[in-house]
């Protein structure tokens, strides 16, 4: 049985999915690839938007896309250190 992902790991996974899709993905495939229930995904989506890690854009046809902000890219690059820091200090 795989270990349950913690909150920081889930956020990292969501941001990584967006990054791997050329920083542009529709919300539905993002939900599918993130392996979360739709209610959990909704909560994370709201949290990431509020924290300014992702932003939602609309193309000229009115279709929604999710992209990473600079903060989002920063989170991905610092994730290893953040996890190390939390583990080192038992936070």
Partner 1 sequence: MPPMPFFDPVRFGIEIAYTSIAVCLFFLIYFRTKEIYKLTKHKGIMFFRGAFLFFAISYLLRLFLILSRVYSSPSSIFSIRDFFPLSLIFVSYFSSLGIILLIFSITWKHIKSKHLVLFAHLLSVLLTIIILLTNSPEILTYIQVGLLIVATVLGIFFNNKTERSKKSIQTRMLYFLLLLSWLLNIWMLTPGWFFPSELKSLFQVLSLVVFGAIYYKVSKWLK
The residues that touch partner 1, with contacts defined as CB under 8 A, are 8, 11, 51, 53, 71, 74-75, 78, 81-82, 84-91
Q: For the CB of residue 81, give the shortest distance to partner 1 in the complex, in Å.
A: 5
Instruction: Name which of 1 and 62 has its Cβ closer to partner 1.
Output: 1
Nearest to 63 by CA among 37, 31, 25, 34: 25
What 3-state DSSP class applies to 25?
strand
* Backbone phi and psi for residue 16, each to the nearest 5 degrees, phi listed first: -65, -40
**Least spacing, CB of residue 53 vs partner 1, in Å:** 8
Residue placing its CB nearer to partner 1 in the complex, 30 or 53: 53
Smallest separation, CB 11 to partner 1 (Å): 8
Q: Which residue has the tokens 């996974």?
A: 13
82 Cβ contact partners less than 8 Å away, ≥ 6 residues apart: 8, 75
């Amino acid at each position: 049985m795989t270990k349950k992902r913690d909150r920081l790991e889930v956020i990292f996974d969501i941001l990584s999915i967006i990054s791997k899709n050329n920083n542009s993905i529709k919300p539905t495939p993002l939900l599918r690839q993130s392996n979360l229930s739709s209610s959990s995904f909704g909560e994370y989506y709201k949290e990431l938007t509020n924290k300014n890690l992702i932003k939602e854009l609309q193309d000229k046809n009115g279709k929604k896309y999710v992209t990473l902000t600079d903060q989002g890219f920063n989170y991905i690059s610092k994730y290893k250190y953040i996890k190390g820091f939390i583990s080192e200090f038992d936070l």
